[in-house]
Structure 1
């Protein structure tokens, strides 16, 4: 596994643990204050729903756990990349079309952070050069 993929996995795991942990441990706090120092984005999108916030926390924690397992085992990064990419693309698409109430800075911050998350998934999905060469031989 390339160093770039290991870095993408580590960042993905950290992202999943941060978002998932916060949403799971304090769903109301997550709703009112995410992403923290950058502003607050979740409460701009509708009323509080503890079930939804806890489900989001569980989703992020599941992706983080899978990222950690792939980091340790150094295998199965493509299916994990597919999961992060599908989630990231759908998440970005939703938020890119639902920016009402966001300041310009918050809208840019939300879209950039979601694009980075999607990009991490794509990095994991793309075959390494060595594997791509082996397949063509």
Structure 2
């Protein structure tokens, strides 16, 4: 059964899900383009440059993957089709959760303030899609049930 998340915009939750998806899509688009087109500039960012040696191929692949995720998120924003929204959010979490876990274990080179800021940023990249997933899934359950 096809179900769309509030095309008519009557449900405030639908607007929050759409806006949140837009934020995630925009973030992935900017990050993906930055890493794909300017990998050395991305590498010089203090939160990145403390990791193992620079690898242009790996960074460009990471940028391309970020753009691919942005495409899926943009499609979810445009259609607000329930399965696509849920899939896009789960895909985002499949990337952001291991990213957070990895960096949480590699904070030693950073100052306490920088590490805390970095963890807050990466934590937001897990909390926001989790909340959006809950909102989208609970809306679907109410409609379908």
Q: Same fold (TM over 0.5)?
A: yes
When Rg is computed on C-alpha atoms for both structures, the one with the higher figure is 2
Alignment length (residue pairs)? 130
1:71 matched to 2:77? The reply is yes
- Asked whether the equivalents of residues 35 and 60 of structure 2 are also in contact (C-alpha less than 8 Å), the reply is yes
1:58 matched to 2:64? The reply is yes
Shift of 1:128: 4.5
Deviations 1:48-85 (A, max 9, x none): 11111111111111111111111111111001111111
Q: 1:89 aligns with which of 76, 97, 111?
A: 97
TM-score normalised over the length of structure 1: 0.87
Shift of 1:101: 0.5
User: 60-69 vs 121-130, which deviates more?
Assistant: 121-130
Aligned mates of 1:123, 1:106 — CA distance in 2: 25
Query: What SS is found at the alignment partner of 1:45?
Result: coil
TM-score normalised over the length of structure 2: 0.83
Runs (5+) with no aligned partner, structure 1: 34-39
Superposed, 1:35-54 pairs within 5 Å as 40-54=46-60
Aligned residue in 1 for 2:118: 110
Query: What SS is found at the alignment partner of 1:63?
Result: helix
